[in-house]
């Protein structure tokens, strides 16, 4: 097969490309330049896509003896991933930019361009497994490396794009194994630090990034009774479940810790309350994508769901809906028939804490990814 290997300049993507070459594929390496004003060097473990990273990717491609190119996808990245990040926070939601990057960049822009150029698949350094059943159906599964598993952020890709995706690191149980493989192959990135946090917020100051682009918008922090207990510089900088950085002027009457329980951007108000208000057992989600056949109308599936990239999965029943589920006046779940596929989740025996609109909820059966959707709202039935 002709395979386009996405090479970030890190050890994972370099080893993934090496394994694709070893498997006998005709491999071409490509580095995605996602920033319009790239830094010369990466700051330790923060950020990515610097000129230094592009150089590291080129050196790895030279060792592997494969052609190498740099593709400028910065405009597409800015218009989709960064713009979504800002608009979601401005709306009081909590987005996951890695999910959006996989959706819009790696498995849309990159994969579509690769297909147009005659490539059969794109190989990346993600930690996930693709299992092909006897009938040829491909399934997305968790990586055996539970600490690095990235199936959660890949679930958004959908079955059509999964058909043309390769994850050569799917069999590795630890990052140490990957580094050892890189060293054995003479790849200089074998000891390079992992990147983490949000790649386009290289200094890790998300609140500062938002303030610089959305401006100062002073408002009140109130408790659940409406009493003003503090102030803020922009409700968009807060997320449900947040405890630190609230800057409250006085403690709760009972002395207990307080958390953000609601972000009301319409009134530019942040609501704080006790921890128990964060526990939910019902999740209504929108923009559902199913990697296994979607359940039929009214059909419930027993599954486990996860709302954070490395969160603990909890037992639940899930079903597909023809619109976005919501909560009626009587507390029951109702479905708004807006024509956009949704997902309804009812936890069975446990609760989730601090579920915020904008997060991804991913349904699993064992290690297999069933489907994914974006949280619209969550509550305690």
The CA–CA distances, whole Å, from 64 to 21, 32, 137 equal 8, 19, 31
Gap between the Cα atoms of 378 and 355, Å rounded:
7
Spot the catalytic one: 48, 49, 98, 199: 199
Tokens of 293: 């056949």
Gap between the Cα atoms of 30 and 18, Å rounded:
13
DSSP tag of 194: P
User: Catalytic site residue 48?
Assistant: no
The tokens 């006046």 sit on which residue?
Answer: 329
Helix-strand-coil percent breakdown of the chain, rounded to 5?
30, 30, 40
E strand or H helix at 90: helix 83-90
Gap between the Cα atoms of 294 and 112, Å rounded:
25
Tokens of 380: 């305690």
Distant-in-sequence, close-in-space partners of 223: CB < 8 Å, separation ≥ 6 = 229, 252, 258, 271, 272, 273
User: Catalytic site residue 49?
Assistant: no
Spot the catalytic one: 48, 49, 98, 101: 101
Active-site amino acid positions = 101, 199
């Amino acid at each position: 097969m002709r395979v386009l290997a996405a090479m970030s300049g890190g050890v994972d993507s370099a080893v993934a490309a090496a394994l694709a070459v070893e498997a006998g594929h005709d491999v071409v390496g490509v580095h995605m330049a996602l920033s319009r004003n790239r830094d010369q060097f990466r700051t330790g473990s923060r950020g990515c896509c610097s000129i230094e990273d592009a150089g590291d990717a080129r050196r790895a491609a030279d060792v592997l003896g494969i052609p190498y190119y740099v593709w400028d996808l910065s405009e597409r990245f800015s218009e989709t991933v960064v713009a979504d990040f800002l608009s979601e926070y401005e709306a009081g939601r909590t987005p996951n930019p890695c999910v959006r990057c996989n959706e819009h960049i790696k498995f849309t822009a990159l994969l579509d361009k690769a297909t147009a150029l005659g490539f059969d698949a794109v190989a990346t350094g993600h930690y996930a497994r693709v299992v092909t059943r006897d009938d040829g159906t491909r399934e997305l599964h968790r990586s055996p490396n539970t600490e690095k598993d990235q199936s959660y952020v890949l679930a958004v890709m959908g079955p059509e794009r999964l058909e043309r995706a390769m994850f050569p690191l799917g069999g590795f149980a630890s990052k140490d194994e990957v580094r050892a493989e890189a060293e054995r192959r003479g790849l200089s990135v074998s000891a390079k630090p992992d990147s983490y946090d949000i790649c386009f917020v290289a200094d890790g100051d998300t609140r500062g990034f938002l303030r610089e682009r959305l401006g100062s918008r002073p408002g009140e922090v109130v408790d659940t009774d409406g009493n003003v207990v503090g102030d803020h510089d922009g409700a968009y900088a807060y997320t449900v479940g947040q405890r630190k950085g609230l800057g409250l002027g006085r403690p709760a009457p009972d002395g207990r810790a307080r958390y953000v329980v609601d972000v009301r951007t319409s009134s530019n108000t942040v609501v704080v309350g006790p921890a128990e208000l964060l526990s939910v057992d019902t999740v209504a989600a929108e923009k559902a994508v199913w990697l296994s056949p979607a359940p039929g109308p009214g059909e419930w599936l027993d599954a486990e769901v996860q709302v954070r990239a490395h969160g603990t999965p909890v037992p639940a029943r899930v079903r597909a809906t023809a619109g976005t589920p919501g909560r009626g006046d009587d507390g029951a779940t109702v479905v708004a028939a807006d024509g956009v596929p949704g997902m309804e989740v009812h936890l069975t025996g446990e609760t989730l804490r601090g579920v915020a609109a904008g997060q991804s909820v991913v349904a699993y059966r064992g290690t297999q990814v069933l489907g994914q959707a974006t949280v619209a709202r969550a509550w305690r039935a």
